[in-house]
Amino acid sequence: MDISKTVAFHTLGCKLNFAETSTLSRMLEHEGFQKKPFEDIADVYVINTCSVTDNADKECRQLVRRIQRKSPQSLVVITGCYAQLKPKEIAGIKGVDLVLGAAEKFNIAAHLKELSKGDSAKISSCDIEEISGFNSSFSVNDRTRTFLKVQDGCSYNCSFCTIPMARGKSRSDTIANVVANAKELAGKGVKEIVLTGVNLGDFGINETASNSGIKRNEDFFQLIQQLDQVEGIERYRISSIEPNLLTNDIISFVAGSKKFMPHFHIPLQSGSNRILGLMRRRYKRELYADRVAAIKSLMPHCCIGADVIVGFPGETEEDFNSTFNFLHGLDISYLHVFTYSERDNTAALSIKPVVPVHTRHERNKTLRNLSYMKMQYFTGQHAGQTRKVLFEGRHKNGMMEGYTDNYIKVAVPYREEMVNSIAEWTI
């Protein structure tokens, strides 16, 4: 068939997915495709999926049905974590033409050249144990903040998580390549880079099924030291880092850096040590509290976010109260709260008793309310201060938004000359 000339993308899930979608878009544009908004009619629709929660799976299916209604002759390509985990299930969705697993997503252009609208979907996937190598990705022109992928996969075995099954073992880019990407982004006028990966603290590890052990030639601390020297990039953020991998060296370096922002996102998942054990997390709450205290001792103004899962199997009211009280007393700024959802082939499925769904939702609401109060308190602590704000291009109802160095959102009347600029602003 002739290569279709218009393509539209939709991304579900994490910052890493946004970086990869942007890279896939540039690859297809290089092949002659014209990118269109997902709401428009396009010859090809690409959905880059997540599978962290059941809602992400459902949203993928809803998007396919929406495409079927508005443009039934268009080609529909599904890639990402859901595509790797359940390719046959996706191929059975009416309207899906191509399912690309983790090893094939970056070969999308070649697949599209051979694809035509047919009765059954083509699946191109492989066993996740066969995945090796690293595909560099970054987002550009999609947001003021650019997401730069530096690491992929995870060699941890948390009992609730499907990511190792969807993305494979931990593997990384090289420092030299990351620095080269940062320089390229600086040349495009990018002001802020968000470093992304599945397990950033494992940067430098390249582990595949063929390796006779974990090999680490470089590490995350060395990476941020090198990035700090890149001219033209004014801001870096670390998207998320495990508490057991957040070293004093990293904290001290960020505290002394003018480019790495005083902002950490540190997954917690539970404030109950018993539940952390059932989750197979690699730390206890005491270590988490120590990391927060270490940050705040050097950067009292630092914004700290946490991921929390509620309703994990076996979580009693006492466990949840332990989590609430721990978070309430912790000097953090906001929470990302996830309601536990059962995922196939995870060890958590064997843990009993199962927490009722309505209880999970109640606990989610409780922690989201706590998050709101914490962010209000954190923002109030800085009221009247003048901090540097990077203003973004999106505007709504005549207003534009930006973020301070320590991740406080600021809304001001829209002025075009302020887009992608950093200015002193009184909060």
Please indicate, yes or no, if residue 72 is contained in any of the structural domains: yes
Predicted local distance difference test score (pLDDT) of residue 92: 92
**CATH code assigned at 179:** 3.30.750.210
Give the Cα separation of 139 and 132 in Å (integer).
22
Among candidate residues 237, 261, 285, the one where a domain is terminated:
261
Give the pLDDT confidence of 269-278 residue by residue, as tens digits.
Answer: 999 999 999 9
Predicted local distance difference test score (pLDDT) of residue 11: 93
Comparing 196 with 54, which gets the higher pLDDT?
196
Predicted local distance difference test score (pLDDT) of residue 408: 98
Asked if residue 211 has pLDDT above 90, the reply is no
Predicted local distance difference test score (pLDDT) of residue 140: 79
Same-domain pairing of 13 and 113: yes
Same-domain pairing of 14 and 102: yes
Asked if residue 213 has pLDDT above 50, the reply is yes
CB-based contact 270:222 (threshold 8 Å): no
Kindly tell me the sign of the dihedral angle through the C-alpha atoms of 166, 121, 61, 106. positive
Same-domain pairing of 23 and 78: yes
Give the Cα separation of 241 and 2 in Å (integer).
45
Using alpha carbons, select from 209, 136, 138, 203 the residue that is nearest to residue 171: 203
Please indicate, yes or no, if residue 20 is contained in any of the structural domains: yes
Same-domain pairing of 67 and 174: no
Please indicate, yes or no, if residue 141 is contained in any of the structural domains: yes
Give the pLDDT confidence of 75-87 residue by residue, as tens digits.
Answer: 999 999 999 999 9
Tally the domains of the chain.
Answer: 3
Among candidate residues 126, 141, 161, the one where a domain is terminated:
126
Mean pLDDT estimate for the chain: 92
Same-domain pairing of 98 and 165: no
Same-domain pairing of 204 and 225: yes
Confidence of residue 264 (pLDDT cuts 50, 70, 90): very high
Whole-Å CA distances, 395 to 122, 188, 403: 40, 22, 14
Give the Cα separation of 93 and 77 in Å (integer).
11
Same-domain pairing of 118 and 155: no
Domain that residue 105 falls in: 6-126
DSSP 355: P
Asked if residue 39 has pLDDT above 80, the reply is yes
Give the Cα separation of 348 and 358 in Å (integer).
19
* CB atoms inside a 10 Å sphere around CB 48: 27
Q: Where are the beta strands (DSSP E) in 285-385?
A: 303-310, 334-339
Give the pLDDT confidence of 286-334 residue by residue, as tens digits.
Answer: 999 999 999 999 999 999 999 999 999 999 999 999 999 999 999 999 9
Please indicate, yes or no, if residue 417 is contained in any of the structural domains: yes
**CATH code assigned at 96:** 3.40.50.12160
Same-domain pairing of 158 and 249: yes
Write the Ramachandran bin of 273: left for phi over 0, alpha for psi from -120 to 50, otherwise beta: alpha
Same-domain pairing of 111 and 139: no
Same-domain pairing of 118 and 196: no
Same-domain pairing of 12 and 119: yes
Please indicate, yes or no, if residue 326 is contained in any of the structural domains: no
β-bridge partners, 396: 399
Please indicate, yes or no, if residue 422 is contained in any of the structural domains: yes
Please indicate, yes or no, if residue 357 is contained in any of the structural domains: no
Same-domain pairing of 118 and 149: no
Q: What pTM did the predictor assign?
A: 0.91
Q: DSSP alpha helices (H): ranges in 14-124?
A: 15-30, 54-70, 81-85, 87-91, 108-113
Asked if residue 283 has pLDDT above 90, the reply is yes
Among candidate residues 216, 245, 261, the one where a domain is terminated:
261
